[in-house]
Structure formats: C-alpha cells, structure tokens
Amino acid sequence: MIKPKILVVDDERAVAFLLTRSLEAAGCEVTTVDDGLEAYDLALAEPFDVILIDHLLPGLLGQEVVQRWRQAGLKTPVIIVSGVSNEEDIVRSLESGASDYVRKPFSVREIIARVKVQIRDRPQGG
Amino acid sequence: MADLAVAVLIALGGLVLISAVALFLLKGVSGARRRRIARRRARFVDFVGELIVRGDPGSRGFRRYAADPEFRSVVLEYMRMLQGEDRQRLLTAARDMGLVDRFLKGLKSKDRAQRVGAVEALGEVADPTTVTDLVFMLRDVVPEIRVQAAAALANIGDPHSVKSLLASMEHQDEWNAQRIADALFAFGREAVPEMSRYLQGTGKYRPLIARTLGLIGDIRAEGALVQALSSADVDLRMRAAAALGRAGTPRAVPSLLELLGDTQWEVRAQAASALGRRTDRQAIPWLRRALSDQSWWVRHNAAAALVEVPGGNEALRASLDHPDPYARDAAAAVLLSSGVAGGAVDALRSDDATDRIAAEDLISSLVRAGKAEFFLVAGLNPAYVDALRMRA
C-alpha cells in the first residue's frame, strides 16, 4: 500500500518532531522543513498529499506561503497549525487558500484525523 | 624620553593583543557552550516527543534528567503545545519523572527567582494535585509570586480555589487585586457562585468583582448584582449597574430604572447605559426623562441607550422637539453619531416617497436643533438645508 506523503513545515523543533513521528506512526511518509521559502519550492517540485504548515514562520507567514502556492496552481490540501487563534487570522488563513486551521494547543489525534479527512477528500489531479 | 614612549606603545599594543585573544577565546567558549546546550535540548525534544507518540509509561527512566533546566523547559514546551489525552499522558509522565515534585520543592526556596520559576512552571503543568500548594503561595511576601500563583490556579481551573483567591484579594494593592480578578475571569462560569457570595459580603474589592461578574456574563450573578445596587458604596453601585447591562435579564430592569434617580451622576450614567444593553421597551419613557438630567454623561448615555432599545429611535427623534434644549442637544448628537442622520441623507434618494418624507422630517428637526453643519459636510445643497430649517 502506498503511504500518503505529508509535508510538515515548522521552525519549532518540538512541534515538527511530534507531528512527524505521530504521522509516521499513523502510516504516513513525512518530509520536514523549517522554512517557508524552502517549503514553497519543495511542494511545487514534489507531490504531497497534505501539507501541514505553521502560521508564524520566520520571514514568510504560513498563509503567505499558501497564497503563493495557490497562485502557482498547487491544489494540495494545506492545514495551517497556529498558536494565533483570533477569528480574523483564521478567516484570513482560510481565505488565503488553506483547507483547514488547527489551533495550538492541539491534540495529536485530532491533527491526524484532520489529515486523514484531507487525504480522503482531496481533489484529484492536484 | 623617546625610549619611554616606545615602551609605553609596546605595552599598550601587548595589552590590546591580549584583550583580543581573550575576547576571541571567550567567544569561542560561549559559542561552544551554546551549541552544547542546543544539542542537549534537541536530544530532549526527541526523547519527550517519542514518549508522547509511544504513550509509553516508562517515563521513570527520565528521572535522571529532571534536574536539568533544559529538560524541564522541553517538557513545558510540549505541555503548552498539547491538549486532551496527549497532554494528560505527558502530565502523568511529568509526575513519574519527578518534575512536579521538583517544582513543588522550588516553591519553598528562599530564592525569589526560584519561587517565581516554580510557580510559573506549575501554572504551565496545571496539575490539579498542586492546588493546595499554589493556594499557599497566594500568601507569599513577593506580590509577583502571589499574582503568578493566581494565574496558575486559573490555569488549573479547580473551582475550589476560587474562595481562596477571593480571600487573598483583601491583602493586595489595587494593581494586584486587578490581576487576581483577571485570574477569576479566566475561571469563567465556574467562579460565579463563589464570586456572587463575595459580592454579598463586606469585601474590599466588591466593585472589582461586580465588574468581573459582568464580564463573565452569567445570569446566576444577577441576584447579587441587583442587591449591590442598593449599597452605600458609589463605586459598587456603578459597577453593579454596568455588570447588569451585560449579565442581567429583564428581571433586572426595574432596579436599573430606579437607579436612574440615584444621587450620584456616575451611577445614573451607568444605569442608562445598562438599560440600553437590556433593550427593554419599558425603559423608553424613563430614558427620555433622563435626557433632561443635570449631568451631560447621563443625558448622553440615555440618548445612546435609546438607539439600542427597539422603538427608542422614534423617542429620540421626538426628543428633538423637547422643551429642554439640553435634551434636544443630547438626542441630536446621538442621532448624528449613531448613523441615523447619515441614513436619513441616503434615504433622500429612496424610491419610496414615505421614506423620503420621513428623512426630510428628521433632517429638518436636526437642522433646527443646530446640526446643519453635519448635512452640509454630507454634501446636501446649502439652499436645501436652509429651506428645511424653515419647514414647520
């Protein structure tokens, strides 16, 4: 069975480690990067089933990266993981093209469930 | 003489060289230390992360790291990140590793910074078994620690600690009492019964608690807040009135109406605002009367409240012909600032003749009340505005 490919973008080592190991334990193949620009290039170069991206990345906000991906035609579902949880930010993130938004503190089980939903519902040919 | 100058120059050069070498070595040592700490931290991130993913109860093996501040900081970082079962599992692991005991021990330290650190850490760990120890810290000699302990108790959220928090307020200055009130607010609804009881007592900070109850907005506080309206304390009456605006039900309206006759203008002004929030039609005639109050604030708040109450706009428009010029001015000012007058300008272009006539009537009344400038700025023809002024 082909493992779903997930890209985790987070500059906080603890978050990145926990998400990576939890997704691996759930049967996913995970690639991790800690920089928005690198993530931008990587997602356009390699196919991923779902992308999990931190909101506050150094240099480039998660929602800005998502916006650029969408402008470039990338249809991969993106979940923004963020410690900022005000309504305006969530709305802006979703409007930028994100498929979902998870607030910190989070439950690992919930994140995995949300990733699975995105894999199940993802548009074909993205 | 020349020899001496050369010798001084050589000595100075040597000194500069030695300083440069020392600086270079120091930088190297500090860089190496930073790298060592970063490596150790990265290792702990992996250890603890693995523990969370595996859900492994074998965390006692980590006891040897409990003394390491980097390890404690990593555990706390994961604590902040997680909720639900994962967090609960990590909390159990933190107990097994002896971390919670270590923080509790820190509470007893003679060193102020250690106590602060321990209270902060316990706030992040939010272990319900530490409530008693944190309640004890509400009596610490250092105000910052007392406030941190209150915040930690709010994080844990055990309603049994609310009574202790309220009792501890009595010995605080106003700034600290406000911080403790913030902690009580964080408890939310759970704190309401105990806070309502406090309000019925003789506590020093009842006005602050009345305000906090209003912010929480739970109607269970209504009885205590209504009772507080008859207190001799002006500040308490004022805060209770404001709180009833947020947390009251229609049952609070008669008491608020009565408060419009209070001897203190601050209380009357708050009562008027609260009636606006309650949006009860029976307040309309009372608020209209309050437009003639001797205090500008009461008149303004009464007019603003009328905008909020269904049917209040009509009363406000009618008040433009009030015999009292102060009442007319309050009504006109609020009709302008609330957007009603701007809406009338737009309605002049309506296809519906009835809307156009109603808009002209309102603008005419406002112009006669001395607010022509508003409509000129809004772009109405000066001759048209002048004609409206003359209209009966």
Whether B185 and B228 map to the same domain: the answer is: yes
> Based on the domain organization, do B330 and B371 belong to the same domain?
no
What does the pLDDT look like over A34-86, one tens digit per residue?
A: 999 999 999 999 999 999 999 988 878 899 999 999 999 999 999 999 887 78
Which residues does residue A8 pair with via DSSP β-bridges, in sequence order? A32, A52
What ranges in B109-230 are assigned the alpha helix state H?
112-125, 131-137, 143-156, 162-169, 174-187, 192-199, 206-216, 222-228
Domain assignment present for B306: yes
What single-letter amino acid sits at B348? L
Nearest to B81 among A14, A25, A109 (CB): A14
**Pairwise CB contact (< 8 Å): A106 & B83:** yes
- Domain ranges, residue B235: 157-274
The answer, for A56 touching chain B at a CB cutoff of 8 Å, is: no
Burial of B336 (0-12, 13-18, 19+ CB in 10 A): middle
Same domain, B331 and B362: no
Inside any domain, residue B163: yes
Are B332 and B291 in the same domain?
yes
How distant, in Å, are the alpha carbons of A8, A18, A53, A116, B84 from that of A12?
A: 11, 10, 11, 23, 21
> How many domains does the structure of chain B reveal?
3
Query: Which pLDDT score is estimated for B241?
Result: 96
- The CA R_g of chain A, rounded to the nearest whole Å, is 13
B99: in domain: no
Q: Which domain-ending residue is among B321, B338, B355?
A: B338
Q: Is residue B137 one of the residues assigned to a domain?
A: no
Bond before A123 cis per omega within 30 degrees: no
Q: Residue B30: its pLDDT value, please?
A: 77
Contacts of A16 (CB under 8 A, 6+ apart): A8, A10, A32, A34
Please report the pLDDT score of residue B303 as a whole number: 96
Residues of B in Cβ contact (< 8 Å) with A22: 53
For chain B (392 residues), the mean pLDDT of every run of 10, in chain order, is: 80 84 79 86 90 74 86 92 89 90 95 95 94 95 94 94 94 93 95 96 96 95 96 97 91 95 97 94 95 96 95 91 92 92 91 90 90 91 87 64
Q: Does B78 touch chain A (CB under 8 A)?
A: yes
Residues of B in contact with A32 (CB under 8 A): none
Q: Do B163 and B255 fall into the same domain?
A: yes
Residue B55 lies in a domain: no
In this structure, the answer to whether residues B176 and B189 fall within a common structural domain is yes
**Of B223, B241, B274, which closes a domain?**
B274
Strand partners, A106: B82
Q: How many CA atoms lie within 13 A of B56 on its CB side?
A: 13
Reported residue count of chain B is 392
* B340-348: long-range pairs with CB below 8 Å, 24+: B340/B307, B340/B313, B340/B316, B341/B366, B341/B371, B341/B374, B341/B375, B342/B378, B345/B375, B345/B378, B345/B379, B345/B380, B348/B380
The answer to whether residues B305 and B220 belong to one domain is no
pLDDT of residue A123: 62
pLDDT given for residue B145 in this prediction: 95
Contact of A104 with chain B, judged by CB distance below 8 Å, is answered with yes
What does the alpha-carbon distance between residue A57 and residue A43 come to, in Å, rounded to a whole number?
A: 16
**pLDDT category of residue A126 using cuts at 50, 70 and 90:** very low
Nearest CA in chain A to B39: A13
Give residue B253's pLDDT. 95
Exposure string for A34-51, b = 16+ CB within 10 A, e = fewer:
bbbeebbebbeeeebbbb
**Whether residue B314 is found in the same domain as residue B297:** yes
Q: What is the CATH number of the domain that holds B266?
A: 1.25.10.10
Q: Are residues A106 and B46, on separate chains, in Cβ contact within 8 Å?
A: no
Statement to judge: residues B353 and B300 lie in one domain: no
Tell me the per-residue pLDDT of B144-170, one tens digit each, with 9 for 90 and over: 999 999 999 999 999 999 999 999 999
Q: Tens digits of per-residue pLDDT, A2-13?
A: 899 999 999 999
The answer on B292 and B251 residing in a single domain is: no
